[in-house]
Amino acid sequence: GEDVEQSLFLSVREGDSSVINCTYTDSSSTYLYWYKQEPGAGLQLLTYIFSNMDMKQDQRLTVLLNKKDKHLSLRIADTQTGDSAIYFCAESSHSGGYQKVTFGTGTKLQVIP
């Protein structure tokens, strides 16, 4: 079945850039996503990229997609303490009339003041 892998933990200093990496196995993915989960909350979509793109930038966020290597990354520039959260990588493909979304384990980002 589909598989999404990411490291469990990342620690950075405030003001530095954070890079969270993810690999996936499904070559038929249509969209790839980054979701953010703050403590005590559910997941919220942070950004997404269509599978025929290789880069997307949105303010402090840069998403890079290497479709050949099935590698997705999220770069957060000028990381702030408010960015501390769990970041989930996910991919979707159309299945049985709905978008089947497969998630990774989540990467817990700790920002040190």
Partner 1 sequence: ETGVTQTPRHLVMGMTNKKSLKCEQHLGHNAMYWYKQSAKKPLELMFVYNFKEQTENNSVPSRFSPECPNSSHLFLHLHTLQPEDSALYLCASSQVERERTGELFFGEGSRLTVL
Q: Site for partner 1 (CB under 8 A): which residue of 43, 64, 75, 84? A: 43
Give yes or no for residue 51 binding partner 1 (CB under 8 A). no
Give yes or no for residue 109 binding partner 1 (CB under 8 A). no
Give yes or no for residue 40 binding partner 1 (CB under 8 A). yes
Cβ contacts of 58 within 8 Å, gap of 6 or more: 47
Q: Which amino acid is at 18?
A: S
Cα–Cα dist 37/45, whole Å: 9
C-alpha to C-alpha distances, 81 to 12, 14, 18, 63, nearest whole angstrom: 10, 6, 12, 20
Sign, CA dihedral 51-66-28-74, equals negative
Give yes or no for residue 28 binding partner 1 (CB under 8 A). no
Give yes or no for residue 53 binding partner 1 (CB under 8 A). no
Give yes or no for residue 112 binding partner 1 (CB under 8 A). no
Q: Give the binding site for partner 1 (CB under 8 A).
A: 4, 8, 30-31, 33, 35, 40-45, 48, 88, 90, 92, 94-106
